[in-house]
Amino acid sequence: MGKPHQQRKQEIIQSTLALAAELGVKKVTTQAIADRVGVAQATIFRHFKTRDAIFAEAIAWLASQLFLVLSDCFQSQQDADQRLQRLVHRQLQFISEHKGLPRLLFSDRLHLESPALKQAVQTIMQRYTREVAELIEEGIDRGHFRQDLDAMQSAGFITALIQGLVMRWSIFNFDFDLEQEAKPLWAFIDSALR
C-alpha cells in the first residue's frame, strides 16, 4: 500500500481541495483528508509537516493550474480586448471547476491564522493583476481601450469585480451558474474600458 511520496502528496492535495469545496476549510480536518485518501490520520504527517503546509501546496497547485489555463490570454497573438474577454471567461470557468479556490480564499485560516498562506495569496494576486494590467496597457496603446485609463487601476477593479462575483456565488451556495455571468460581466467591463 505504501505509494511513492509525490503520488501520495498529490492525492492528499486533491482530497483537500475536494473536501474544501464540499464542506469548507474548517471541516477539512486531517482525519477527513485521511479518510478520503484511504490512509490513517497519522500518515498525513508523513507527507506534510503541518496542516497548513497542505493548504499552502494546494494553493500553489491551484495558482499554477490557473496561470496555465490563462497563459495564452497573456500572449499577444490577438487583439487585447478579445484576449481580455477570453480571460474573464476562462477565469470564471476555472473557478467553477475548482470551488476549493474560493473556499480557501474566504477562509479565516488564510486571512489571519497563517501569514505564510496570506503572503502566498498576495503574491499570486499581484502577479495576476500585473499581467492583466499589461494586457490593458497593450489595449490602450493599440486603441482598443480609452486613452485616459490607468491600466494598473483598471486591472485592480477587474480582479475585484471577479472576486466579488465569486464571493456572492459562494455566499449563495454556488447556486447560480458562474460561467453564465461571463457575458454580462464582460459587457460591463468592456463599457467601462471603452
Q: Quote the CA–CA distance of 139 and 81 in Å, as a whole number.
A: 6
Answer yes or no whether residue 65 interacts with DNA by CB under 7 A: no
Q: How far is the CB of 100 from a copy of itself (least distance, A)?
A: 12
Asked if residue 186 lies in contact with residue 89, where contact means CB atoms within 8 angstroms, the answer is yes
Query: Which is nearer to a copy of itself, 74 or 188 (by Cβ)?
Result: 188
- Which three-class secondary structure state does DSSP give residue 176? coil
Answer yes or no whether residue 31 interacts with DNA by CB under 7 A: yes
DSSP state of 29: -
Q: Which of 190, 125, 131, 193 is CA-nearest to residue 163?
A: 125
Q: Which of 3, 130, 142, 168 binds a copy of itself (CB under 8 A)?
A: 168
Answer yes or no whether residue 24 interacts with a copy of itself by CB under 8 A: yes
Q: Which of 52, 97, 134, 179 binds DNA (CB under 7 A)?
A: 52
- Residue 16, C-beta contacts closer than 8 angstroms, at least 6 positions apart: 28, 33, 54, 55, 58, 100
Query: Which is nearer to a copy of itself, 76 or 122 (by Cβ)?
Result: 122
Q: Could you tell me the three cell numbers for 135? A: 494586457
Contact of residue 2 among DNA, a copy of itself, none (CB under 5-8 Å per partner type): DNA
Radius of gyration of the chain (CA): 19
Helices (H) and strands (E) in the chain, counts: 10, 0
Q: Which residues of this chain interact with a copy of itself, rule CB under 8 A?
A: 23-27, 103, 105-109, 111-113, 118, 121-122, 125, 146, 150, 153-154, 156-157, 159-165, 167-168, 170-173, 184-185, 188-189, 191-193
Q: Which residues of this chain interact with DNA, rule CB under 7 A?
A: 1-5, 8, 26-31, 39-43, 45-47, 49-52
